């Protein structure tokens, strides 16, 4: 069910939660994307509500990372510029993802760390931590944001993990 079909009270509640997120130091670009996406997708609304009711910082960070994942999933509809990876390259890529993320993390650390990257990209630090700590396939739009923040070309990024 789309939240936009719900009453205005729910929209106001989303904006209040967004305001609380912003006051807690989350990037304004993330908060705006979360609220906009929550207007369209109930799952994001539910996560934002869960975040507002959660008191444990670690759990809140996990919810933020989940919200970012859903924002990214919903944004995949947009055409993303850059190099595309052939399907038959995925197996070799999967083997190298951990090494790729470790190397990329070194680059991030050399350029100010995760906190600095979060400020530049607007991606919440918990989402970046999850990205770098998991062995999952990186999302293209996340890589594009990181590449731009580090002044790396998208070709450099894609080529590194497709070797």
Is residue 84 pLDDT above 70, yes or no?
no
Using pLDDT thresholds of 50, 70 and 90, give the confidence band for residue 94. low
Q: Where are the domains of the chain?
A: 3-75, 87-157
Using pLDDT thresholds of 50, 70 and 90, give the confidence band for residue 80. very low
Using pLDDT thresholds of 50, 70 and 90, give the confidence band for residue 90. low
Is residue 162 pLDDT above 70, yes or no?
no
Using pLDDT thresholds of 50, 70 and 90, give the confidence band for residue 112. very high
- The whole-angstrom separation of Cα 111 and Cα 150 is 7
Is residue 38 within 8 Å of residue 3, measured between CB atoms?
yes
Can you give the pLDDT at residue 157?
60
Residue 46 buriedness (CB in 10 A; 0-12 / 13-18 / 19+):
middle
DSSP string, 86-146: PGGGHHHHHHHHHHHHHHHHHHHHHTTHHHHHHHHH---HHHHHHHHH--SPPPHHHHHHH
- The whole-angstrom separation of Cα 117 and Cα 159 is 21
Is residue 3 pLDDT above 90, yes or no?
no
Q: How far apart are the first and last CA of the chain?
A: 42
Is residue 44 within 8 Å of residue 50, measured between CB atoms?
no
Closest CA to 122 of 37, 57, 25: 25
Encode pLDDT of 28-76 as tens digits: 999 999 999 998 888 888 899 999 999 999 999 989 988 988 888 777 6
Q: Who wins on pLDDT, 6 or 147? A: 147
- Domain 87-157, classified CATH 1.10.260.40, yes or no: yes
**Most confidently modeled range among 14-23, 43-52, 89-98:** 14-23
- The whole-angstrom separation of Cα 6 and Cα 70 is 20
């Amino acid at each position: 069910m789309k939240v936009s079909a719900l009453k205005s009270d729910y929209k106001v509640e989303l904006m209040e939660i967004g305001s609380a997120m912003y006051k807690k130091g989350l990037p304004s670009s993330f908060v705006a994307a979360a609220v906009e996406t929550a207007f369209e997708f109930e799952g994001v609304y539910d996560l934002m509500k869960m975040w507002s009711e959660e008191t444990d910082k670690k759990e809140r960070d996990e919810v933020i990372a989940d919200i970012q994942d859903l924002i990214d999933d919903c944004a995949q509809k947009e055409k993303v510029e850059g190099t595309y990876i052939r399907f038959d390259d995925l197996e070799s890529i999967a083997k190298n993802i951990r090494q790729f993320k470790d190397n990329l993390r070194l680059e991030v650390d050399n350029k100010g760390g995760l906190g600095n990257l979060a400020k530049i990209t607007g991606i919440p630090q918990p989402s970046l931590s999850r990205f770098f700590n998991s062995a999952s396939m990186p999302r293209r739009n996340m890589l594009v944001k990181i590449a731009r923040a580090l002044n790396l070309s998208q070709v450099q990024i894609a080529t590194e993990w497709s070797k």
